[in-house]
Amino acid sequence: MKKLMSVIAVGALAVGLTVAPSAIAKQGPKSVPGTVTVVPTPTTIDATTTTVSVSGNVAASSSCRKDRTVRFSYVNGTTGAVTPLATTAVTGPNGDYTAVLPKPTDTGPASVTLSATVDQSIRKVGSKKKGKKTKKGRQFVCLEASGQSVPLTVSAPVTP
């Protein structure tokens, strides 16, 4: 009986030693998904239109909403041609952004969609010691997110 008890004790100790490191191990960064909303104004582009105003929101957790760079592009609904724009916007603390974009260069009649994309980034939050410049708290991987507007109607030939 003593031998059986000692075998059980040694077996339990061996299992405990193999499980303990994985229980204590530091967890990796948390992946945070998000979505982007895009609301352009006006939705009908004619010869008198000079710019398109866009506003929207990056919906993600609080650590991944602010200070994200939003990139824009026009996508032609017929040909699928993508026209990236040089204008970017930076999100505020609540994820909201606004920008003024040039009008699409597609000739009318055409249907164009405005696409907005935010790049993936790594954020570190929290620190055990206040005043430290490098944060050693939790890490979040803010995943890339994108969204599209309703189709914009280009009603007349547009000259760039």
Q: What is the pTM of this model?
A: 0.71
> Where is 6: in which H helix or E strand?
helix 2-24
Alpha carbon dihedral 125, 126, 129, 135, in 10-degree steps, equals -10
For 36-40, 83-87, 121-125, 136-140, which range has the lowest pLDDT when averaged over its residues? Answer: 136-140
CA 25 to the chain's CA centroid: 28
Cis, peptide link before residue 104, omega less than 30° from 0: no
Looking at residue 158, its pLDDT comes to 43
Which pLDDT tens digit goes with each residue over 46-103? 888 889 999 999 988 878 888 889 999 989 887 888 888 899 999 998 999 999 999 8
Rounded Cα distance, 34 and 13, in Å? 44
Residue 157 has pLDDT above 80, yes or no: no
CA 94 – CA 82 distance, rounded (Å):
29
**Is the pLDDT score of 17 beyond 70?**
no
Average pLDDT over residues 152-157: 74
Q: Which fold has domain 29-127+136-154?
A: Immunoglobulin-like (2.60.40)
Q: Cis peptide leading into 21, omega within 30 of 0? A: no
